[in-house]
Amino acid sequence: MAGEAHCLSYTGCNFLRQRLVLATLSGRPLKIRKIRAKEEDPGLRDFEASFIRLIDKVTNGSRIEINQTGTTLYYQPGLLYGGSLEHDCSPSRGIGYYLESLLCLAPFMKHPLKIVLRGVTNDQVDPSVDVLKATALPLLKKFGIDGESLEIKINRRGMPPKGGGEILFTCPVRKVLQPVQFTDPGKIKRIRGTAYSVRVSPQMANRMVESARGILNKFLPDIYIYTDHMKGVSSGKSPGFGMCLTAETINGTILSAELASNPQGQGAAVLPEELGQNCAKLLLEEIYRGGCVDSTNQSLALLLMTLGQRDVSKVLLGPLSPYTIEFLRHLRSFFQIMFKIETKTAEEEHTGGEKVLMTCVGIGFCNLSKTIR
Amino acid sequence: MEEKEKKKHRAKQSGPKAEKKRKRYLNDLGIGEEENARKRNPKAFTVQSAVRMARTFHRTQDLKTKKHHIPVVDRTPLEPPPVVVVVVGPPKVGKSTVIKCLIKNFTRQKLVEIRGPVTIVSGKKRRLTIIECGCDINTMIDLAKVADLVLMLIDASFGFEMETFEFLNICQVHGFPKIMGVLTHLDTFKNNKQLKKTKKKLKHRFWTEVYPGAKLFYLSGMVHGEYQKQEIHNLGRFISVMKFRPLTWQTSHPYILADRMEELTNPEDVRINPKCDRKISLYGYLRGAHLKNKSQIHMPGVGDFTVSDVSFLPDPCALPEQQKKRSLNEKEKLVYAPLSGVGGIVYDKDAVYIDLGGSHAHEKEEEEVRPNHELVQSLISTHSAIDVKMASSKVSLFVDSTPLGSEDVGQEFVMPKEERQVDLKTGRVRRKAVFEDDEKENDDVASDEEDDQEEGDEEEAVSEDGSDGDDENDAEEESERVLLQEGMAVRRAKRLKTEMAQEEAVNELPAFADSDDDLEMSSQEEEETAPEDSEMEEDEEEEEEEGDIQRTCEDESSGSESEVANKRADSKQYDMDSECTEMKSQISEHSPKRKAVLTTDSGNCTAEEASESEDENSSLEDGDDEGGSHEELEAEESNRNGFQHSQAKKANSVGQTKVKTVDTEDDDVENLLREEEEYEEKIDLSADTAGALKWKEDLTQKAAEAFLRQQRSTPNLRKLVYGTAVEDEDHESEDADDELGGLFRVSRPDKASKQKANALDCSKFLVEKLQDWDLEEVMSSIRDCFVTGKWEDDKDAAKLLEEDEELYGDFEDLETGVVHKGKAAAGGEQSGSEEEEDEDEKMSKPEPEEEEKKKERMDKKRKLKEMFDAEYDEGDATYFDDLKEEMHKQAQLNRAEFEDQDDETRVQYEGFRPGMYVRIEIENVPCEFVLNFDPHYPIILGGLGNSEGNVGYVQLRLKKHRWYKKILKTRDPLILSLGWRRFQTIPMFYMEDHNGRHRLLKYTPQHMHCGAAFWGPITPQGTGFLAVQSVSGTTPDFRIAATGVVLDLDKSITIVKKLKLTGFPFKIFKNTCFIKGMFNSQLEVAKFEGAAIRSVSGIRGQIKKALRAPVGAFRATFEDKLLMSDIVFVRTWYPVSIPMFYNPVTSLLKPAGEKDSWSGMKTTGQLRYERGIKLKQNKDSLYKPIVREKRHFNKLHIPKALQKALPFKNKPKNLEKKGKTPKDQWRPAVIREPHEKKISALLSALSTVNNYKIKKAKAKHREQLKEYLKVKQKEEEQKFKRQKEAKKKVYRILGQREKKRQKSSLKGSSKGGKST
């Protein structure tokens, strides 16, 4: 058909996930060249290969061609299929790396997605499963993707470098999404969080909680941080600990921050007190940035706005992250959509930094995979 | 006598008058009507059955909800596109006459020949696009998809024809537009009664097809070849007030009914290869949904294309401006039909005629055409080498991409292109020239910049020349002005260099580097305050150069410039001044805030650095900021001037180069500037993602960068993300050549780009540097983000509570009986807001106090009313109402969001909205489309949604049309009309079994739905389709073969057909046997282990295990013993593959006159028929005469013992035949004597005589009886007659008596009635 002119072409492996996800949703073929072409170890890494495999699993009829050195990737998307699946993620990246993309794709499957992902649940690079569970799911709900089956369950925790964690992600299917007007974040009413520890002393978690509370109590009394110490099979293969904090506002906005200990055998040992303090500070930093959507989930929110019906959607964000900026550009090239970007300076003084109001008209996306009876 | 003549008054006994009287009379009495009875005796009318009541209630509710439609968001634009009116009907029914009459009715113009769509203004708020639809089924299908209103013409003298029904069916499938019937040829009826009858008959048939009560018009006769004026007028009125229901497909897809086509192919290409693919532009109103640039479209009859460019044009057939008068005046009654030669261009087979004396629309049109013309012209005129051509083509692309409609653009076209491009670059070069010497020392400078510089030098030289002779004429003014600028800039740059030592210059330089900044502004303003020759600024279009110019003005006060200066410049300058003041105020606002941020910002620079270069920083950053904002402002300004994109681009490019030059200048700010440079890159679509590894390397640098970003994000965020609009377009256009894609196509060191391209892919937004959250100020910066912080006034609980207290202070505790008294209003004020009170008192004026109280009272009242409303209005709001309200709100928001923006920007956000008149460029169109262009056939551009351009397997629910004569066969090609497309494909029919298996069917079932699957374009589920077997020629039969709906889309599909494998037992044990001949190998058997098998006689079994001996044999067990003669089989399902055949119907590519003769793949049946090939039949499937052998059954044998035991009744009674009687028992024969013989003979004779006699007597007796009966009957009749007579008499008497009695009784009663 319209064929090759239709195909998009990029270089470099950065933003691979964005590109593959958007290509799948828009149905446009994609070519990525020069993936680490000049490096000593050229081509796709194992975690990228694993991601491509995952994409292949959730779709039907995708064509993926990779050249011998792995420096060129051609992807012709099929239709999103879903169903009950299992996937072993590469331990070099967290499960969050995979889950983030699945969150974008899951509502548009043919059959509701029910997938077991195995790998590293919490690490220092990617948003952890805990954070995504706390922030991304409420965000999906705002777009009309809700129901009992929308769930992320952490069966086992796995820390880097060996992993061994396992989660279950289920998501219902929707035909169309609702437009959102999400411009007032509201005030933070409570702070919740999880301090987890595996294969270390259970006391670690308590120490983290203490120190984090010390900082956060200056702002708000309603703080509760759960301690989650996993034992035995559910504790994965490597020791580690960490913490993630979420601040919830009266309007249902959830902001989050997280920190994890250094992986075993890499870097110096981290004191749990220090980690707790730093994590609390990160949360304050995130609150300073503000907005109605967490900085990690900015791109998800923008994507769901884009894929809405032909109505105006608005969302107030904190400063755009580089990932989001690139995502906006990708959105334009894949969907020909541009956001109206307005900077909002808060009238009052003590409400953090500048915000960005993003407005767009949805493209009228409808789930082509879903069967009608 | 006269007295006698007078007639006595008689009260009316019957009729309406009497009835009324009686009623009144009864009412007076208080008895009578049922209603009154209901009132009088309500108990008698209460519920008699609760069940029945419930049922009636349910029923009414059902009926109510049935009326609801699911509410949808109203997305119709404020100025809707013209309504598409399709005039359909069989040939010679009067379609074109109706169109002509309608056009004449609305516009008072008479069109001679109508080709293609005609757009007219029909009223203050409505336009119509009228198009005729021929009888070609392709046209009918295409137009049914875009029609808003269908005028269905029916020849009343003939009745309905197949075309009418076909069109109705097409409409039903593709969403049902409004349909209005028009009966013509009514004057052929001579007999009035016949006419009436026909009308009624046709009307009712029409109603059954459309809906009962559908409007049917009658056009009774022709006057001078036209329909009667009044009738047409009425028809027009109906059309222009008609309301339309939104159709799903149409509202969810953009589409254009093109009313103009132009070819843009390079003539040279055509000359070289006449069959080369063409580039065309199509014009038309956009309808349906928003259209995005570069999106995919489908042209029914041609194929799929990607839009290479869209631009909107001024409306050629615009609605009148807002006016309050009742009707349109003659000038506003526009008509636009370029294909017919009205308001545009006439198309002939090999030429295009431009109608010079055209209507008003034509003048505008010309302007639109010119740029394209220019483009083509430029392409033709270049007789030079390829690289030059390339350069020029780039320029022309740019020209093309600039929006049309502004006169300035047109003027710019007059300039030679080369020069223009250079001009663009010189914007940079001029800046370069400042640091010419320095740069030579520097190695950093990119080679291309040097090139530019050289060019700039040349320019300089040229400009000198230009300035000499710039008073030549006015026509050259423009170009010269530009040149002048170059010259001035260079001079100024040189001068600047000398000033470097000065303090001001230090401040200025970086600022200058980044375009017009505040400092420059301020200095400039100072200058402006001085009574200098500021009116000399004629170059305000390029505002960034303002400062330069001003100074140069001082230097060279040559008269030439003052000549050039004009009024416009003055006014511009005025604008500028105001802007400058704005700037100033902004700066003042900004700087303190910025400082505050400095302390709190997460990504700011280190303390030392900050202290080191605080001054520079502040000035610089402010400068940058302002530069940015100024650029935006400038963009706005330029918009006003019509210089839009080109300007912005210039500004940008200037900015870039400047920055680069700066870092050679100042060592102090070098570091920062490098950041800035990087930042500039960002602006240019760079993808700096702050990879984790990178930021670890040099934190301070990063911090500074982040700081910068934070600072500059404010005005430039959009640019940061998307780049400027012009750059955009440029990149898009270059995308095609450059494989890198728009995002990374930036001129910057390769290393950086590579690093970025292969950086870590992480969505986390890392915090570069934590702020010190132990500090009080830092903490206070987010204090109000928490519920513990300060709230807004309208949400502050304390305040709200206070207000409530005033309102609802008093309440009584019902349990304890204690009455709580709220504070009195005055008291409340005393305690709650004493300060206010004090203030009030200070004012000490009774009047305001009064007013305040009044206000309070009003407030209180209002609140109470709200409460009341909330309580009582809520009850009515149903779920449906809520939903509707929500949709309404959304629609409001959709309208309001982009309302205040100009179309240029709006188009970028929303896409082109329906109602716009757009021009669409399409490349790679087959040459046949242009060569065989026929305006009679509609050209439709249908927008495709996401992934609707892809192909895959589509599953349908399909039903053969009940009027189609044949049944459809699996694997026969079929032409489907689905979505926008018409295409030929090979469907496979199937039935879904109860277990979800798709079982292949050979033929479609007769009166049932079945499934169908084919390989073809992905189309959203729920889309209707129709199928025809051929689109060519005409048949008397109904052409639509099947209709249905899309159910599912997938990239794979399994349809199976049944396959029975048979085998034969070769060894039988008890229930086990060995079976051979079913499989060919052990492996195959292994695959089927455990499968259920069955013998023909019905014995069930299971495959157990393969045997070694004969290959493919296996052991199986059965529920009973098998016979050697049994045949065993296993039932399996074999997947069939669906042929990947998808062939779009390219009917528009056919030569004119043959467009309805497209034929694609033929069925095997057709081929066999054409070539006379007989089907070779399987011998076994032939019918042979059945020979049935006579069956022979053995005798039933009952054993003797059983026989004995049987009761006698059931015993076989096989009486044996008597044997021959023995001789002794034989009876002897009797032999008579002669005498005896005689006696017997006599006796017999006598008896014969006697018999005869008796017979005779009997006959006689019968005769007599007959006679007698006759007589008797006669008598009887007479008797009956007499009796009847008598009865009659009696009855008459009786009747009279009865009547009398009745009369008397009536009289009596009436008397009685009166007496009471």
Residues B1092-1106: tens digit of each pLDDT: 999 999 999 999 999
Task: Tell me the residue range of the domain where A257 lies.
Answer: 188-289
List the one residue out of B262, B267, B300 whose CA is nearest residue B282.
B262
Phi-psi region of B234 (alpha: psi -120 to 50; beta: other; left: phi over 0): alpha
The encoded tokens of residue B4 equal 């006698």
**DSSP bridge pairs for B184:** B155
Summarize the confidence of residues B31-57 as an average pLDDT: 79
Q: What percent of chain B has pLDDT over 90?
A: 37
Where does a domain end: A289, A323, A350?
A: A289
Kindly state whether residue A87 falls inside one of the protein's structural domains. Answer: no
Kindly state whether residue A278 falls inside one of the protein's structural domains. Answer: yes
Q: What is the pLDDT along chain A (373 residues), one digit of tens a residue?
A: 445 557 899 998 889 999 999 999 999 999 999 999 888 889 999 999 999 999 999 999 999 999 999 999 999 999 999 999 999 999 999 999 999 999 999 999 999 999 999 999 999 999 999 999 999 999 999 999 988 899 999 999 999 999 999 999 999 999 999 999 999 888 999 999 999 999 999 999 999 999 999 999 989 999 999 999 999 989 999 999 999 999 999 999 999 999 999 998 888 889 999 999 999 999 999 999 989 999 999 999 999 999 999 999 999 999 999 999 999 999 999 998 999 998 888 766 677 888 999 999 999 998 988 888 7
User: Are A349 and A263 contained in the same domain?
Assistant: no
**DSSP bridge pairs for A65:** A74
Query: What's phi and psi for B286, nearest 5 deg?
Result: -85, 135
| Residue A35 distance to chain B (closest CA, Å) | 7
pLDDT of residue B761: 86
Residue B493: in which H helix or E strand, if any? helix B477-499
CATH code of A25's domain: 3.30.110
A319 or B755, which is more confident: A319
Q: Please list, residue by residue across B350-364, b when 16 or more beta carbons sit within 10 angstroms of its beta carbon and e when fewer do.
A: eeeeeeeebbebbeb
**Beta-carbon separation of A125 and B742 below 8 A:** no
User: Are A15 and A59 contained in the same domain?
Assistant: yes
Summarize the confidence of residues B819-842 as an average pLDDT: 45
Cα separation, B201 vs B195, whole angstroms: 10
CA of A32: which chain B residue's CA is closest? B740
Residues B1121-1141: tens digit of each pLDDT: 999 999 999 999 999 999 999
Kindly state whether residue A181 falls inside one of the protein's structural domains. Answer: no
pLDDT of residue B253: 94
Q: How confident is the model at residue B981 (pLDDT cuts 50, 70, 90)?
A: very high
Tokens 């504070």, located at residue: B823
Question: Of the ranges B88-102, B353-367, B1197-1211, which one carries the lowest mean pLDDT score?
Answer: B353-367
Kindly state whether residue A25 falls inside one of the protein's structural domains. Answer: yes
CATH code of A241's domain: 3.30.360.20
Query: What's phi and psi for B954, nearest 5 deg?
Result: -120, 135
Q: How many structural domains compose chain A?
A: 3
Kindly state whether residue A145 falls inside one of the protein's structural domains. Answer: no
pLDDT of residue B1029: 92
Question: How many A×B Cβ pairs under 8 Å?
Answer: 293
Which member of B290, B898, B946 has the closest CB to residue A310?
A: B290
Q: How confident is the model at residue B519 (pLDDT cuts 50, 70, 90)?
A: very low
Between helix A272-289 and helix A203-216 the angle, nearest 10°, is 40
User: Are A304 and A211 contained in the same domain?
Assistant: no
Kindly state whether residue A128 falls inside one of the protein's structural domains. Answer: no
Residue B287: in which H helix or E strand, if any? strand B278-287
User: Are A282 and A200 contained in the same domain?
Assistant: yes
Highest mean pLDDT among A155-169, B352-366, B427-441 belongs to: A155-169
B753 or B1069, which is more confident: B1069
Kindly state whether residue A49 falls inside one of the protein's structural domains. Answer: yes
A349 close to B (CB below 8 A): yes
Residues B420-432: tens digit of each pLDDT: 333 343 333 333 3
Q: Is the pLDDT of residue B929 over 90?
A: yes
User: Are A219 and A263 contained in the same domain?
Assistant: yes
User: Are A277 and A302 contained in the same domain?
Assistant: no
Question: Of the ranges A10-19, A307-316, B206-215, B528-537, which one carries the lowest mean pLDDT score?
Answer: B528-537
pLDDT of residue B709: 54
User: Are A16 and A65 contained in the same domain?
Assistant: yes
User: Are A22 and A64 contained in the same domain?
Assistant: yes
pLDDT of residue B472: 41
List, as ranges, residues 473-492 from B with C-beta within 8 Å of A: none
pLDDT of residue B755: 52
Cα separation, B1081 vs B1067, whole angstroms: 19
Q: What percent of chain B has pLDDT over 70?
A: 63
B624 or B771, which is more confident: B771
List the one residue out of A56, A132, A120 whose CA is nearest residue A92.
A120
Q: How confident is the model at residue B773 (pLDDT cuts 50, 70, 90)?
A: confident
Which member of A78, A349, A372 has the closest CB to residue B1021?
A: A372
Residues B110-124: tens digit of each pLDDT: 888 888 999 999 888
> What is the reported pTM?
0.68
pLDDT of residue B24: 87
Cα separation, A211 vs A271, whole angstroms: 11
A56 close to B (CB below 8 A): no
Highest mean pLDDT among B603-607, B615-619, B1135-1139 belongs to: B1135-1139
Question: Of the ranges B694-708, B782-796, B1072-1086, B1251-1265, which one carries the lowest mean pLDDT score?
Answer: B694-708
| Residue A33 distance to chain B (closest CA, Å) | 9
Cα separation, A220 vs B784, whole angstroms: 11
User: Are A312 and A276 contained in the same domain?
Assistant: no
Which member of B294, B305, B744 has the closest CB to residue A11?
A: B744
Residue B739 to residues A34, A154, B732, B734, B745, Cα–Cα distance (Å): 11, 43, 11, 9, 9
pLDDT of residue B834: 43
CA of A326: which chain B residue's CA is closest? B687
B176 or B670, which is more confident: B176
Residues B452-464: tens digit of each pLDDT: 444 444 444 444 4
Where does a domain end: A289, A320, A345?
A: A289
**Beta-carbon separation of B292 and A349 below 8 A:** no
Q: Is the pLDDT of residue B474 over 60?
A: no
User: Are A283 and A209 contained in the same domain?
Assistant: yes
List the one residue out of B765, B1262, B813, B980 whose CA is nearest residue B296.
B980
List, as ranges, residues 863-922 from B with C-beta within 8 Å of A: 890, 893-894, 897-898, 908-911
Kindly state whether residue A147 falls inside one of the protein's structural domains. Answer: no
User: Are A316 and A284 contained in the same domain?
Assistant: no
User: Are A278 and A305 contained in the same domain?
Assistant: no
Where does a domain end: A31, A51, A80?
A: A80
pLDDT of residue B333: 77
